[in-house]
Amino acid sequence: MIDTLRLSAEGAKDLLDRKEVSGAELFAAYLEAIGERDAELHCYLHVCEESSAHPPAGDGIPIAVKDVIGTRGIPTTAGSKILEGYVPVYDSTVVSNLKGHGLRILGKTNTDEFAMGSSTENSAYGPTHNPWDPSRVPGGSGGGSAAAVSAGLAPWALGSDTGGSIKQPSALCGNVGLRPTYGTVSRYGIVAFASSLDQVGPVARTVRDCAYLYSIIAGRDPCDSTTVDSPEVVLPQGEDLKGVRVGLPRELNEHAAIDPGVRASVERAIELLRQLGAEVGECSLPRSVDFGLPCYYLVAPAEASSNLARYDGVRYGYRSPGPGDRLDMYKHTRDEGFGDEPKRRILIGTYALSAGYYDAYYGQAQKVRTMLIREHAEAFERFDVLLSPTSPTVAFELGAKTENPLAMYLNDLLTIPSCMAGLPGLNVPCGLSEGLPVGLQLIGPQFSENTLFAVGHALERALAFDLVPTRYRL
């Protein structure tokens, strides 16, 4: 009996290495779990048959892949109707890397349309539900990957993060998610949202699994000129944090939007860090919270408006059958194919980039972005890592914020500043509030993933958070 609710990828690898199970048996166990629980949760937009999993033979660990990540021969929709029926003819580099390590793709996970959202409710194919409480959202945009890992529907998964789409759903579903340093993971073959921010990263049950998956996907890629070689990944082992300097940015820890239950869980984790030998101190990121979100909502839509120009009914997916000439076809396709959120962002972005406004909006936002980079760099002169809650709240009810885009955007208040600065961030589950998971984020300087893994691993051991959603415990 394979207990997918409790099996880590490392555990799966041990079973395979010891030949206690075959790759096919492992794959079948996850398919069975998907059959049991995914009708309720809707983590997957597409589930692979055992015969279509790549590589079909071999003893790899199964993995789920967010549907913005291109997979040869497997539909890739980015949660949008405009990409309905699109089947890539090539693999993204990250997927080639997975296959190179013998991993087998279980399926493609649900996402807010073009990864725009914080709850997965913007998916054109219907929302994903949180495995801890299906009346609640799993976070977003990568709610499908995060919920799948927490519900035992995949041992681990790939997500993508522009302003928090790995860290925030991991926090709301209670697992480990890494947004890597910008430029360490290839974006070749990924459906682009905001190119100066997008990063692919791992979602996992443990920090060690997360580090291992990161080691598989990271590295320079000749097909993506923004990539560099990253330092060799060290799988974390010890629990001693003697001398590690942990900074608590006041603005990210004391913000009025943070729920008291979230604050209390994070404070308990901070106390544990002290007991493990870390030196904990306060610091300030004075502009991050006030300027991070507004700055992001200029830069990201501006880049999105440009990236989404390619969906015209000619090259990919959906084409409107409506009447008229070629221009009418473009218009109808985009009108019918895009949902409200991408349209909203295309409008904002096109406006911000238009002649006469470019300097006032996009140019100004780029300057603010430089300030955010500098104030993080200053904080790292005194600290090795920074810590705060990942999300100001626990998972909220489906529908609670869909009518108010600004309320939805506020979910990313705490994750966006470091994303704007290109920095890596790790979500570690740190407790429950109202019976729902709370996550904390560890932020480090560029290329400090190994430090984040070491601190995250020590904390994970000390916290002993039980990842299995209470309703699935026997």
Question: Which residues inside 4-33 make contact with ligand GLN, applying CB under 6 A?
Answer: none
- Is 92 one of the annotated active-site residues of the chain? no
Question: Which residues inside 218-247 make contact with ligand GLN, applying CB under 6 A?
Answer: none
Give me the catalytic one of 123, 141, 418, 448: 141
127 binds ligand GLN (CB under 6 A): no
Selection from 459, 444, 436 nearest residue 269 by Cα: 459
163 binds ligand GLN (CB under 6 A): yes
User: How far is it, in rounded angstroms, from Cα 3 to Cα 163?
Assistant: 33
Q: How far is the CB of 412 from ligand GLN (least distance, A)?
A: 5
Q: How far is the CB of 473 from ligand GLN (least distance, A)?
A: 30
Give me the catalytic one of 8, 66, 118, 170: 66
201 binds ligand GLN (CB under 6 A): no
Q: How far is the CB of 407 from ligand GLN (least distance, A)?
A: 12
Nearer to ligand GLN, 112 or 460 (CB): 112
Nearer to ligand GLN, 208 or 345 (CB): 345
> Among 67, 113, 412, 460, which residue interacts with ligand GLN (rule: CB under 6 A)?
412
The CA-based angle 449-465-67, given to 5 degrees, is: 55
Residue 199: C-alpha distances to residues 227, 289, 308 (Å) = 11, 21, 17
> Among 150, 165, 418, 433, which residue interacts with ligand GLN (rule: CB under 6 A)?
165
Site size for ligand GLN (CB under 6 A): 13
162 binds ligand GLN (CB under 6 A): yes
> First-to-last CA distance in the chain?
15
Asked if 127 and 119 touch (Cβ cutoff 8 Å), the reply is yes
One-letter identity of residue 128: T
Beta pairing class for 62-66 and 104-109: parallel
Q: How far is the CB of 160 from ligand GLN (least distance, A)?
A: 6
298 binds ligand GLN (CB under 6 A): no
Q: How far is the CB of 341 from ligand GLN (least distance, A)?
A: 8
- Is 8 one of the annotated active-site residues of the chain? no
> Among 70, 79, 88, 117, which residue interacts with ligand GLN (rule: CB under 6 A)?
117
Binding mask 138-157 for ligand GLN (x = CB under 6 A): ---x----------------
Binding mask 53-82 for ligand GLN (x = CB under 6 A): ------------------------------
- Element spanning 213, H or E: helix 207-217
- Is 306 one of the annotated active-site residues of the chain? no
Kindly tell me the sign of the dihedral angle through the C-alpha atoms of 439, 442, 448, 453: negative
337 binds ligand GLN (CB under 6 A): no
What is the radius of gyration, based on Cα positions, of the chain?
Answer: 21
User: How far is it, in rounded angstroms, from Cα 411 to Cα 396?
Assistant: 10
Which bin fits 356, alpha (ψ -120 to 50), beta or left (φ > 0)?
A: left
Asked if 130 and 147 touch (Cβ cutoff 8 Å), the reply is yes
161 binds ligand GLN (CB under 6 A): yes
> Among 71, 77, 118, 390, which residue interacts with ligand GLN (rule: CB under 6 A)?
118
Three-state secondary structure call for residue 96: helix
DSSP of 243-309, one letter per residue? T-EEEEEHHHHS-TTS-HHHHHHHHHHHHHHHHTT-EEEEE--TTHHHHHHHHHHHHHHHHHHHHGG
DSSP of 108-177, one letter per residue? EE--SGGG--SSSTT-TT----BTTBTTB---SSSHHHHHHHHTTS-SEEEEEESSSTTHHHHHHHTSEE
Nearer to ligand GLN, 244 or 346 (CB): 346
Residue 26: C-alpha distances to residues 10, 31, 197 (Å) = 13, 9, 35
Residue with the CB atom nearest ligand GLN in the bound state: 165
300 binds ligand GLN (CB under 6 A): yes
Tokens of 432: 């429950």
115 binds ligand GLN (CB under 6 A): yes
Q: How far is the CB of 190 from ligand GLN (least distance, A)?
A: 11
Which residues does the annotation mark as catalytic? Answer: 66, 141, 165
Binding site for ligand GLN (CB under 6 A): 115-118, 141, 161-165, 193, 300, 412
